[in-house]
Amino acid sequence: MASSRVARTVARQVKPLLSVDQGEARRRVLNLYKAWYRQIPYIVLDYDFPKSKEQCRAKLREQFEKHRDVKDIRVIDMLVIKGQMELKETVEIWKQKHGIMSYWRDSVDPKPKDFLSKFLDGHE
């Protein structure tokens, strides 16, 4: 009982990164999603992808859905900041083509399971 009281007081003292409440965090996530969604046609043209706009938008949705269950506002804010950085790097063409194509790697070539396959593939 005493540990739960301590945990509650610690949780209350943590300052938010950007968002004050859940609604503001949700709004930031939706704005980031819309920004990515609008930029996808230009990204496909600039990087000369072998993927269509629809495939890229499906991958975008998949990446956002991966973090659907995150409830901590600070974690949401950190993910939004990282997403904004990725978008800036992609739009300014600071990333290389293979860096963006790596998002499709797991769907095309699943991660190896045994030690030797991991070693040959370069995974830990």
Residues with Cβ within 8 Å of 56's Cβ and at least 6 positions away in sequence, in order, are 40, 43, 44, 49
Amino acid of residue 115: F
Rounded distance between C-alpha atoms, residue 102 and residue 79, angstroms: 19
**Nearest partner of 83 among 39, 22, 24, judged by Cα:** 39
Rounded distance between C-alpha atoms, residue 79 and residue 74, angstroms: 9
pLDDT band at 61 (very low <50, low <70, confident <90, very high): very high
pTM of the shown model: 0.75
pLDDT (tens digit, 9 = 90+) per residue, 99-113?
898 888 766 667 778
pLDDT (tens digit, 9 = 90+) per residue, 67-81?
999 999 999 999 999
pLDDT band at 11 (very low <50, low <70, confident <90, very high): low
